[in-house]
Amino acid sequence: MSSASRLPRLLTLVPYLQAHPGMSVGEVARTFGLSEKQLIDDLQLIWMCGLPGHTPGDLIDVSWDGDEILVSNADTIARPLRLGVDEASALLVALRMLAELPEIEDRDALARVIAKLERAAGDAASAVSSQVSVEVEASPDAMAVVRDALARERVLRLRYYVPGRDETTLRDVDPMRIVVADGRSYLEGWCRRAEAVRLFRLDRMHSVEALEEQASPPPEAEPVDVEAGLFRPSPEDTVVELEVGASGRWVAEYYPCEEVRELGEGRLHLTLRTRDTGWVRRLALRLGDAGKVVAPASLAGEVRDTALSALALYDAAPARP
Amino acid sequence: MSRRKTERLLNLVICLLHTRRPLTAVQIRQAVPGYPEGDEAFQRMFERDKGELRELGIPIEVGADPWDDEPGYRIPRQAYELPEITIEPDEAAVLGLAAQVWRRAGLAEAASGALLKLRAAGAETEEPSAGALEFRVDTRDPAFPALWEAVRDRRPVAFHYRTAGHEAARERVVEPWGVVSRRGKWYLAGHDRDRDEPRVFRLSRIEGQVRFAGRPGTVTVPEGVNVREMVVPYDRQPHDRVAVVRLREGACEGLRHRARDLRPDGPGWDRAELVYADTERFAGWVVAFGADAEVVEPPDAREAVIRRLKGALSS
């Protein structure tokens, strides 16, 4: 926390300590995201402040003997400051997003807490929070089955479609959790076929059923750190280089690129890593003259061959030299 | 902010909250330790302090004491304090989830600040914890913080924007009505001043800095505007066109799944009807199946596929 935010922090800390008498230095420091030393420094500062006159009877009493923090004689600032527009809006936008998710059963609690926050925050915050919104696509049917399997710890059997390879495969998955990220819902689980943790988009499950078998992800099944991005390439992946024109720039927005270089006139040079180059071939066909594969050369050749045999279907293949 | 200054400001807040009648600058100077000797130096510092407190959202009321000519200052308790709010345990659980949504994203500090205030007011909220549900909202678009501020403060913005398919970015001046995240991408919806029309912008296509192009409070969101509806997605366009596509047997899973009226069509091939909204998008989808799919009709979709295949050869 920056020093500029210290005053607001103190104005929250004092009422917090009064509402939670006897809490330990460690606990409070964790709650406020401070080191114990910073917290004690805050307590020492508070102890120097108080009502005009500043006689010992006017000052705030603070003690942290034996690790228990006690604050008294601070009635003037016993309530925290109102929620700022940013603060209330951040919570309200998030709550409204949750209200869209079919997986939140507690709709009633959501509606109540939204109303309470709007009341506490005032008009400005409720206006802002209705102008900022995060949409999440729902797949209610799949979600109900997945939620149920997670709750009952059952193995899930999916018919799962992978557009990059244009195939639907049958997979048995030990479910671990549901991840809602970038507007989509995923099942994270141990895929018995891949023998690895995988994310499965709920809207790509052509069917899903819970088996009677007890789910038991192996100990090596580590959840993905969603903060670091859902899809991270591994060093063994193939490096692919593409060049796209102005009308192919969207590729850089949709696919996680390792490097994006401007080539002038709106053109881009993209580098990405992938386990499976099939989807890049499909992408290159889709791009038409808006982009091309630069490397590896074998992939560029595959694209050309596919385009040629497809054109033959249309009787439009150029005459071979 | 130095320690001495924080101390002075905290004392000032306590003093102005405590007083029932407005205090003049002279009275405040006597009551709050830490102000300098000289009159002018004091005035300057006091003005700055007032400004900083207001910026933090602390309401300072200016009123004249009927027996005094000087303006007087106080903080009305009602306007300062978080109103009484009780949070039931089930509400605490959803609040914990809500705070988790922004974890480490742009609004994380604001969300956790709000949660702390609610706790300081005695409401028990749950620590956001890793559970069976995990959320992530990405606000790494560099334009996000400035646009959030612009929407919040209702002020116009200017930025360089690259329209899809255009070579160069051009400057746009926009009255922001709202920002929407859809499928993980952020959009700005607002009034484009040059075009004098409502427009939608993708944050990822904004180049460089977003600048403020007007004072706070100068944007009015027209009655009835729904920013989410403005970000009209392609898939909500009516799918009212029909194509006939030949599919190689054993291939084209993705097309088959969406096909209506799928039937055999000679050895090794099937024939499917597919509905779609936009010819170019449809062509882009089908062409990806390469030599496993052939658009038979309509002619414009067939041509669009051929054009892309030739493009892939020539590029």
Ordered by where they begin, the domains of chain B are 3-80 (1.10.10.10), 84-137 (no CATH), 150-232 (2.30.30), 241-314 (3.30.70)
φ, ψ of residue B166 in degrees (nearest 5): -95, 150
Q: Tell me, what DSSP letter sits at residue B223? A: T
How would residue A2 be classed by pLDDT, with cut points 50, 70 and 90?
very low
- The pLDDT value recorded for residue A321 is 45
Which whole number is the average pLDDT over A194-206?
A: 90
Q: Tell me, what DSSP letter sits at residue A73? A: S
Q: What is the CATH number of domain A140-226?
A: 2.30.30
Chain B interface disruption, residue of A2, A76, A97, most B CBs within 10 A: A76
Instruction: Give the 3-state secondary structure of residue B86.
Output: coil
Which pairing describes strands B170-182 and A132-134: parallel, antiparallel, or unpaired?
parallel
User: Any residues with CB less than 8 A from the CB of A49 and at least 6 apart, and which?
Assistant: A59, A60, B7, B10, B11, B14
Instruction: Give the 3-state secondary structure of residue A286.
Output: helix
User: Any residues with CB less than 8 A from the CB of B77 and at least 6 apart, and which?
Assistant: B17
Nearest by CB: B312 against A113, A265, A284: A284
Q: Tell me: the pLDDT tens digits for A254-286?
A: 888 888 998 888 889 999 988 888 889 999 999
User: Any residues with CB less than 8 A from the CB of A313 and at least 6 apart, and which?
Assistant: B246, B291, B294
Nearest by CB: A310 against B3, B91, B291: B291
Nearest by CB: A311 against B95, B182, B306: B306
Contact B120 A226 (CB under 8 A): no
Is A182 in CB contact (< 8 Å) with chain B? yes
Which whole number is the average pLDDT over A223-242?
A: 77
Contact pairs from chain A to chain B, CB under 8 Å: 345
Helices A25-32 and B108-120 pack at an angle, to 10 degrees, of: 140
Length of chain A: 321
Q: Which fold has domain A3-77?
A: Arc Repressor Mutant, subunit A (1.10.10)
Whether residue A8 is predicted with pLDDT greater than 80 in this model: the reply is: yes
- The pLDDT value recorded for residue B238 is 79
ipTM above 0.90, yes or no: no
Which residue positions in chain B have pLDDT lower than 50?
Answer: 130
Contact B290 A282 (CB under 8 A): yes
Q: Shortest CA distance to B186 belongs to which of B175, B202, B209, B200?
A: B202
Q: What is the DSSP string of B126-152?
A: PPP---SEEEE-----TTHHHHHHHHH
User: Any residues with CB less than 8 A from the CB of B53 and at least 6 apart, and which?
Assistant: B9, B12, B13, B60
Residue that is written with structure tokens 């805050």 in the block: A42
Which whole number is the average pLDDT over A23-42?
A: 92
Whether residue A145 is predicted with pLDDT greater than 80 in this model: the reply is: yes
Contact A282 B103 (CB under 8 A): no
Where are the domains positioned within chain A?
3-77, 85-131, 140-226, 238-313
The alpha carbon of residue B40 is apart from the nearest alpha carbon of chain A, in Å, by 22
A33 in Cβ contact with B99 (< 8 Å): no
Is A132 in CB contact (< 8 Å) with chain B? yes
Is B21 in CB contact (< 8 Å) with chain A? no
Q: Tell me: the pLDDT tens digits for A146-193?
A: 888 988 899 999 999 988 888 889 999 999 988 888 888 899 999 999
Contacts of A20 in chain B (CB under 8 A): 119
Q: Tell me: the pLDDT tens digits for B136-159?
A: 787 778 899 899 999 989 999 999
Q: What is the DSSP string of A153-221?
A: TEEEEEEEEETTTTEEEEEEEEEEEEEEETTEEEEEEEETTTTEEEEEEGGGEEEEEEEEEEP---TT-
